[in-house]
Amino acid sequence: MGHRNSDMDCIGAALGVVTCANHVGAHAYIVLDAVNTTIEDAVVTLERSGAGSLIITPEQAAEMMRENSVLVVVDTQRASVTVAPQLLKMTEHIVLIDHHRRSADYIDNATLHYLETRASSASEMVTEVMQYFADSVKPSAFTCSALLAGITVDTKQFAFNVGSRTFDAAGYLRRNGADLSSVKQMFQNDYESYVRCANVVERAKIRRSGIAISMCDKNAPDSQLLAAQAADELLGIRGVYAAFVLAETDEQVAISGRSYGQINVQVILERLGGGGHLTMAGAQLKGATSDEALAKLEEAIDWYETENPER
C-alpha cells in the first residue's frame, strides 16, 4: 500500500512489487481506499485486463492479513498518511520503499528499510529492485508503463530530481514494453477537473519573492490532487519560483508545495509538520481552517525569506 490519495508513483511502485511477489509464487494485492482522477485510467485498464482483483479495500486487507503476511509500504514512510494505518499493527513483517526524507512519524518497526532520498521516485527504486530481483522477471507492458508514469509525474516530465539511474530505469522499462502513448493518457484530466484547476491558478497571489499562493474551494472533489495539479501549473508562470496551494476539507487543510529548486518548499512545510523534497512537498493541518492554515504558511514563508535574504 501507499499513501492516501494515491498517485501514479504509488500505483506504479505497487505493481512492480506485485510482479516480484508473483515471481516467487506469493499472492500479492494492492490496498486502495478510493480511486481518484489521477489513477482512474490505470485502475480501469487493470480491470479490463482481468487483473482488477489485485486491488482490495483496507477492510478486505484486514480480513486477509495473517501474522506471517508481508506488508510493503511504497512512496511514503509516514504511518499517519498510509491508506490503512491499522494494517501496520497486524504484522511484524513490514518493508518500506520510499524516496522522501525521514519524518517525525516514521514507521520505525519495519523489517527492511529501503530509503533513497536521491532517487526520483518510488517507481524508480522498484524498477531497480525488479532488475536485480531475478534475471527471469518479466514485467508486463502495462506494469512498465505504470512505472514509467510514476517516474514521469515525480520528475515533472524528467525535468527535476533526475539522475543517471533515473534514465537507466526508464530505459529498462521502455525495453520491456512501456508505451509512451499509454503514459501520456494516464495524465489526461477530465474537462471539469481542468476547469477547477484553472480557477485555482487564476485566484493565485504572487509575492515579490516569486512565491505563488492559492486555495481550492472547500471540499472540492479530489481537493488534495487538485491542489497538487494547480501548484504544478503555477510553476509554468514566468516569475514564479515556488507555489503553494491549500485544500480545505471538514477534517483538515492540506498544502501542496512545488518549486524549481531555488526555493526549498520542503523546509518551509516542515515548519508546519509536513515534509517531502526540495522541489515537491506537502503538509496536512488537522482541525485547522483555511485562514488559519494560510496564516501559518505565510509565517513559515516569512521565516524562510528572512533566513535566505538572497532569494
Residue 310 predicted with pLDDT over 80 = no
Neighbour-count burial of 156, counting CB atoms closer than 10 A to its CB (0-12 exposed, 13-18 middle, 19+ buried): middle
Greater confidence (300 vs 47) lies with 300
Secondary structure (3-state) at 72: strand
Q: How far apart are CA 246 and CA 78, in angstroms?
A: 20
Q: How far apart are CA 243 and CA 150, in angstroms?
A: 21
- Cβ count within 10 A of residue 204: 19
Are 79 and 85 a contacting pair, CB within 8 Å?
A: yes
The answer to which of 108-117, 145-154, 242-251, 270-279 has the lowest mean pLDDT is 270-279
Q: How far apart are CA 72 and CA 110, in angstroms?
A: 9
Q: Which phi and psi angles does 176 have, rounded to 5°?
A: -100, 15
- Mean pLDDT on 108-129: 94
Q: How far apart are CA 13 and CA 2, in angstroms?
A: 9
pLDDT in tens, 120-139: 999 999 999 999 999 999 99
Domains of the chain: 8-186 (3.90.1640.10), 191-307 (3.10.310.30)
Q: Which stretch, 102-116, 182-196, 251-265, has highest mean pLDDT? A: 251-265
Cell, residue 135: 534475471
What pTM value is reported for the model? Answer: 0.81
Nearest residue to 9 via CA among 89, 95, 84, 97: 97
In which band, very low, low, confident or very high, does the pLDDT at 160 lie, cut at 50, 70 and 90?
Answer: confident
Q: How far apart are CA 195 and CA 55, in angstroms?
A: 30
- Mean pLDDT on 73-86: 94
The pLDDT value given to residue 311: 59
Cell, residue 34: 478510493
- Mean pLDDT on 194-218: 95
Helix (H) or strand (E) holding 253: strand 252-259
Q: Which segments within 125-221 are labelled E, that is strand?
A: 205-206, 211-215
